[in-house]
């Protein structure tokens, strides 16, 4: 059985103040992946030292500056076994979601 820790009054008050101070100031942009694909994408971000928020901000800036960004509708498939490698799917010819490199 997991041991339950009681939060002290000071900590509860601090959390309450923080929530009140930041109420309505933070929002999220989320998406859902299957667990295997999510782990794979998180590993890629970790290997490159970036956070999902940094990737989204970078994509938004690129779009604002009129630069095309590469998007993928098809899921990335995580390797099935250790040591097995797999690449991202190639863009489909005529697909408007390619990187613009021709």
What's the rounded mean pLDDT across residues 78-96?
A: 53
Q: Which domain holds residue 44?
A: 33-70
Asked if the structure places residue 88 within a domain, the reply is no
Asked if the structure places residue 53 within a domain, the reply is yes
Report the mean per-residue pLDDT for the chain. Answer: 79
Asked if the structure places residue 79 within a domain, the reply is no
pTM over 0.85: no
Q: Do 16 and 7 form a contact (C-beta atoms < 8 A)?
A: no
Q: What angle do CA 46, 36, 52 make, to 5 degrees?
A: 35
Asked if the structure places residue 13 within a domain, the reply is no
Q: How do residues 45-74 score in pLDDT, each as one tens digit?
A: 999 999 999 999 999 999 999 999 998 888
Q: How does residue 79 score in pLDDT terms, banded at 50, 70 and 90?
A: low
Query: What domain count does the chain have?
Result: 1
Asked if the structure places residue 66 within a domain, the reply is yes
Asked if the structure places residue 25 within a domain, the reply is no
Does residue 98 register a pLDDT over 50?
no
């Amino acid at each position: 059985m997991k041991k339950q820790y009681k939060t002290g009054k000071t900590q509860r008050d601090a959390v309450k103040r923080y929530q009140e101070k930041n109420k309505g100031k933070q929002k999220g942009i989320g998406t859902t992946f299957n667990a295997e694909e999510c782990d794979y994408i998180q590993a890629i971000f970790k290997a490159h030292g970036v956070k999902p928020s940094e990737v989204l901000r970078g994509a938004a800036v690129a779009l604002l500056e009129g630069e095309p960004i590469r998007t993928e509708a098809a899921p990335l498939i995580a390797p099935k076994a250790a040591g097995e490698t797999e690449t991202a799917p190639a863009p489909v010819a005529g697909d408007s979601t390619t990187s613009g490199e021709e």
